[in-house]
Structure 1
Amino acid sequence: MNHSIHSADRATHLKIVVVALVAGIGVAAFGIAARTGADYSQTAQSTQVIKAGKPVVVTSSGSSEVR
């Protein structure tokens, strides 16, 4: 067994690369699977348009008047 990465042979380096690759694919797959239940209606591509209503003037008596 190699106790140092510097003195490790080619097979040990290959094992480390394979384990890192499998772990990276696992993390990516988990992230993609976690997004499948997301609500895509509120994304940046499909924003809702809010239109302005009629202008309202508030008077000092507390009532509002629509012009």
Structure 2
Amino acid sequence: MNHSIYSADRSTHLKIVVVALVAGIAVAGFGISARTSSEDYTQTARVIKAGKPVAVTSSGTSMVR
């Protein structure tokens, strides 16, 4: 058994590349299927209007200017 990647033969390198590609495709497929499973998810824009300015002091009370 060869314990170094540098001195490994061609078939060992090919096996490593194939396993890495299969694992990458599996992770990508799982991510895509998990993301598109909820069809009813929609984003809506919410408008937040600014109120009166507030200054917070160190005592914990607020003061409206």
Aligned match of 1:22: 22
Partner amino acid, structure 1, of 2:21? L
Aligned to 1:48: 45
How far residue 36 of structure 1 moved from its aligned partner, in angstroms, is 1.7
Identity score, percent: 72
Q: Structure 2: any 5+ residue segments left out of the alignment?
A: 50-65
Aligned to 1:61: none
Name 1:31's counterpart in structure 2.
31
Give distance in 2, aligned partners of 1:6 and 1:17: 14
TM-score, normalisation: structure 1: 0.59
**1:6 equivalent in structure 2:** 6
Question: Normalised by the size of structure 2, how large is the TM-score?
Answer: 0.60
Please say which structure displays the higher CA radius of gyration. 1
* SS in structure 2 of the partner of residue 21 of structure 1: helix
Instruction: For residue 2 of structure 1, give the secondary structure of its aligned residue in structure 2.
Output: coil
- Report the count of equivalent residues: 47
Shift in Å at residue 37 of structure 1?
A: 2.2
Offset of residue 48 of structure 1: 3.1
